Amino acid sequence: TLRRQPLFRCLSDEQLDALLPRGRVAHFGREEKLIQQGDGGDSMFVLVDGQATVVVERNGGPTPVAFLRSGDCFGEMSLLTGERRTATVIAQTDCEVVEIGKAVLAKSLKDNPTLLAQLSELLAQRQLETEGILAAEKQGGAAAAQQTQYAASFVDKLRTFFEL
């Protein structure tokens, strides 16, 4: 399941096998908030079972931006940069998640330096999606240039946050 997620594709089998057992299992009921936009956080989650909606507050109201199913990941922006949560995730059904904290991922980053650039690209892509830039607001080269800029910014944030 994790191998299908962009965040984990660049990890070796050994690194991947080390992540989940060190994570914390949590259960959430229907309509319960798994994470809240604006909250601090230094962890990410793997949705093991259930369905959830990702919502971003925009123009004074909630805007759904993604739908999560078993096997999907969320919260990685906060885990990887230490920044506040950029979205709220609400359980649509009863959910079981595994929470992966900063210390667990830090070891993988130190053991695999190329992971830093790959994660920066993923974060840049997620940032663009969250902002809605990939929709119709920016097209072609403008979106690509923005992603490159975000990726460079995230490399610096990752190095600082994980003390690399």
CB within 8 Å of 13: residues ≥ 6 apart: none
Provide, for the chain, the percentages of residues in helix, strand and coil under a 3-state DSSP scheme, each rounded to the nearest 5: 45, 25, 30
Taking only Cα atoms into account, the Rg of the chain, rounded to an integer number of angstroms, comes to 16
What is the per-residue pLDDT for 137? 46
pLDDT tens by residue, the chain, 164 residues: 677 777 777 677 877 777 767 788 999 999 999 999 999 988 989 899 999 999 998 888 888 988 999 988 898 888 888 889 989 999 999 999 989 888 888 877 787 777 778 788 877 877 777 676 545 444 556 667 777 888 888 888 888 888 88
Q: Which two tokens stand for residue 55?
A: 């919502």
What is the per-residue pLDDT for 138? 47
Q: Which two tokens stand for residue 67?
A: 């739908």
Q: Which two tokens stand for residue 164?
A: 């690399």
CB within 8 Å of 112: residues ≥ 6 apart: 10, 11, 12, 15
Measured distance CA(50)–CA(70) in Å, rounded = 6
What is the per-residue pLDDT for 101? 87
What is the per-residue pLDDT for 114? 76
What is the per-residue pLDDT for 37? 95
Alpha helix ranges (H) inside the chain: 13-19, 76-81, 102-111, 114-131, 141-161
Q: Which residue has the tokens 């096998």?
A: 17
What is the per-residue pLDDT for 11? 73
